[in-house]
Amino acid sequence: MDPLERLYVDALLEDPEEPKRSLRPQLLAGARARRRPAAPTADWARPYAGRVAAMDALLAAAVEDDWSRVIVEGWTLQELVAHLAAKDGLLAASVGAPVLGPELTTADSAARTADVQSYERARSPEQTRRDWRAQADALCRHLANLPAAEPAALDGLNAPVSDHILARALETWVHTDDAARVARITLPLPLPEHIHPTADMCARLLPWTMLLSGHDASGRTLGLELTGPGGGAWHLALGAEDGAAAGEPDARITADVVAFCFLLGGRGDAETFEATLAGDVALARDVLATAPALSGP
């Protein structure tokens, strides 16, 4: 806004006046009909419900051309949304939540993605958006009644359902960011209280990304300091079989919390990643270089 416009609007705003009756109740009812709020769910699943709502807000603004534009992995926005629905559905299947879309014939996420994408290609983008949202909300509702420690499996990875849903939150966030970049929209960050558990899940994955990349870091420990809203400090054992880390960390990494989550999510280059390294710098570099190892499409 230029100064004259700002002056004009500020002048008009100098005359606050209450409507005769409060518009609040009808506003909230109307809002629910225009865009669905985040689905009610367990506290530990809220970061996921929030990212689903954010993706839905992005999709609400998409026009016809946007849906056929390639976003990532050679997928259009519609195919990307189908991919999210496919993986959400596999997690749903693993914990006994409803699985929507085509009949479930595989537990492999690439194969399920292909199935859901071919099913959705025959439907309109708006139907795909609704199908994805219905699957995500069904999963959220089911999680409301599950303990965080309930075992779940996705892509052969066994972990408590609370960790799997944080991984789904991260993937939904990363892909919403992919789509927002293509649409040149600035995507605001998740709330700090949603970023923190996501970063915690990422930090706890580091022994596994090291192991998966063939690095044996048994007995070594890492001091990880993540800065920015939702950040924190972790002292991690880097061997997958190690007990709790104790004493002075062998290596230290300080980095931005969002950049760190995105590195684990397969966005960002370990070579150029902005971080302050200390202690055993070679070990810290290995940690960063292997961090994306678990990120799929």
Partner 1 sequence: MEAPYDDRLLHQRVVGGDEAALGEIYDRLASLIFGLSLRVTRDRVIAEDITQEVFLVFWERPLAYDPERGTLRAWLATIAHRRAVDHVRVEERRRVSVLGPRLFEREPDRLEDTVLAADEAHRVRQAVEALPGGLREVVELAYFGGRTYRQVGEELGVPEGTAKSRIRLALRRLADALAQEEV
Of 94, 216, 81, which Cα lies nearest the Cα of 157?
94
**35 vs 121 by CB, closer to partner 1:** 35
Min dist. Cβ of residue 235 to partner 1 (A): 29
- Rounded Cα distance between 215 and 55, Å, is 36
**Smaller CB separation from partner 1, 17 or 65:** 17
Tokens of 136: 């995500």
Please state the closest distance from residue 180 (CB atom) to partner 1, in A.
Answer: 8
Sheet holding 232-237, edge to edge: 232-237, 221-227, 251-256, 275-279
Distance CA(134)–CA(38), nearest Å, equals 12
Measured CA to CA, the distance from residue 2 to residue 232 in angstroms comes to 40
Q: Which stretch binds partner 1 (CB under 8 A): 29-37, 201-209, 214-222, 282-290?
A: 29-37
Query: How many angstroms separate the CA atoms of 59 and 53, rounded?
Result: 10
| By the rule CB under 8 A, 34 interacts with partner 1 | yes
**Judged by CB, which is closer to partner 1: 35, or 69?**
35
- Residues 61 to 80 in contact with partner 1, rule: CB under 8 A: 61
Report the candidate in 144, 163, 145 with the shortest Cα–Cα distance to residue 154. Answer: 163
* Separation of alpha carbons 207 and 190, rounded Å: 26
How far does Cα 295 stand from its chain's mean position?
Answer: 12
- Contact status: 184 vs partner 1 (CB under 8 A): no
Length of the chain: 297
With CB under 8 A as the contact rule, the residue among 103, 122, 145, 186 that binds partner 1 is 186
- Verify binding: residue 6, partner 1, rule CB under 8 A: yes
Counting residues that bind partner 1 (by CB under 8 A) gives 53
Place of tokens 């709502």: 53
Nearer to partner 1, 24 or 244 (CB): 24
Of 58 and 152, which has the nearer Cβ to partner 1? 58
60 touching partner 1, by CB under 8 A: yes
- Decide if residue 134 touches partner 1 (CB under 8 A): no
55/236 with CB nearer partner 1:
55
Please report whether residue 35 would count as binding partner 1 according to CB under 8 A.
yes
Q: Does 187 bind partner 1 (CB under 8 A)?
A: yes
Tokens found for residue 250: 């062998």
Minimum distance, C-beta of residue 173 to partner 1, in the bound complex (Å): 11
Rg (CA), the chain: 22
Footprint on this chain of partner 1 (rule: CB under 8 A):
1-20, 23-24, 26-28, 30-32, 34-38, 49-54, 56-58, 60-61, 180, 185-191, 194
